Amino acid sequence: MKTIRTIGVLTSGGDAPGMNACIRAITRSAVYNGWKVYGILRGYEGLINDEFVELTTEKVSGTIQKGGTILKTARSKAFMTEEGRAKAYENIVSHGIDALLVIGGNGSLSGAQAFAREYDIPIVGLPGTIDNDLYGTDLTIGYDTALNTIVECVDKIRDTASSHDRIFFVEVMGRDAGFLAQNSAIAAGAEAAIIPEDQTDVDQLAQFISRGVRKSKNSSIVIVSESKSEGHGGAMYYAERVRNEYPEYDVRVTILGHLQRGGTPTASDRILASRMGYASIEALQEGQRNIMIGIQNDEIVYVPISKAIKKDKPIDKELINVLSVLSI
């Protein structure tokens, strides 16, 4: 096993609150072990374009409370090509980097897996995504903060919904996974959640109208996961259906969008990111490679990257029952 003396760390894909706390933990844990740390700017694009900066304990000071990512992030079409990955590896070798740490979601870890297949470099992934949709970990970095942001927004929307006797469709992120929608609906006392995992033959809107809108309630809030496809799904789609099929109801739409990505990370996300960052350095010391750091039952676990990105993370169907009962 090659001795590790220098590591590279990058953030890729959508930013998530807590990424900076993770970068800080990685940097300080590595420096503690006598390793050199390079931060790679703008994700895989920076890896290809040779945008490397040395990270020190001082450089990550005062970052734990910041949202976004100090290393910046970007999508990279070039990294999807063999030529792009070859250039990235060339830069890794020229900087003497012995291992690469990637903080990001499904797409970012898929890129890491492709890279690891082609080149002999240990890679450790860290789950940084507000969607909480990576298999093998109970929580992802940024999820708790996004959830709290949504609940705060919905609480404010509830005030105006009640004042005007309206149905509000509130669209949240998570086109492939309903964790944000389902849990924010429970936390905010919403009447329903429309999520990808519940897309059965049952018409979720008809079900909500028949069960959820009653004379005892003068307003309703429905949390909707954003849609994968144009024109079918998402808050606008369901609001338009209500206007056409149930014109007696006054409907409004709020799309929270990038509000959900920003903001100061919660204590939970800071602790999670710190634990995972520290664990990633321990994993490299143990000779681990091509794994993602996860957390299960409050214990750090190592998950093969191939499993983390290929397997669908199931939502707890009991949550659907909880919301259904508590929204009466």
Q: Of 50, 120, 131, 203, which is the active-site residue?
A: 131
Measure the CA–CA gap between 200 and 198, rounded to whole angstroms.
6
State the Cα–Cα distance between residues 234 and 225, nearest whole angstrom.
6
Q: What is the C-alpha to C-alpha distance for residues 122 and 299, in angstroms, rounded to an integer?
A: 23
Instruction: Report the distance separating Cα 66 and Cα 213, nearest Å.
Output: 41
| Whether 76 contacts 44, CB under 8 Å | yes
Q: How far apart, in whole angstroms, are the C-alpha atoms of residue 9 and residue 102?
A: 6
Q: Alpha-carbon distance 192 to 197, whole Å?
A: 14
Q: Which residue type sits at 24?
A: R
101 near 7, Cβ under 8 Å?
Answer: yes
List phi, psi (to 5°) of 121. -140, 130
The amino acid present at 169, given as its one-letter code, is: F
Q: Is 316 a catalytic residue?
A: no
Specify the DSSP element, H or E, that contains 74.
none
Query: What is the SS3 assignment for 222?
Result: strand
From residue 52, how far is each of 92, 98, 155 by CA, in Å?
9, 14, 43
Percentages of the chain per state (helix, strand, coil), in multiples of 5: 45, 20, 35
Could you tell me how many helices (H) and strands (E) the chain has, helices first? 11, 11
Active-site residue set: 131
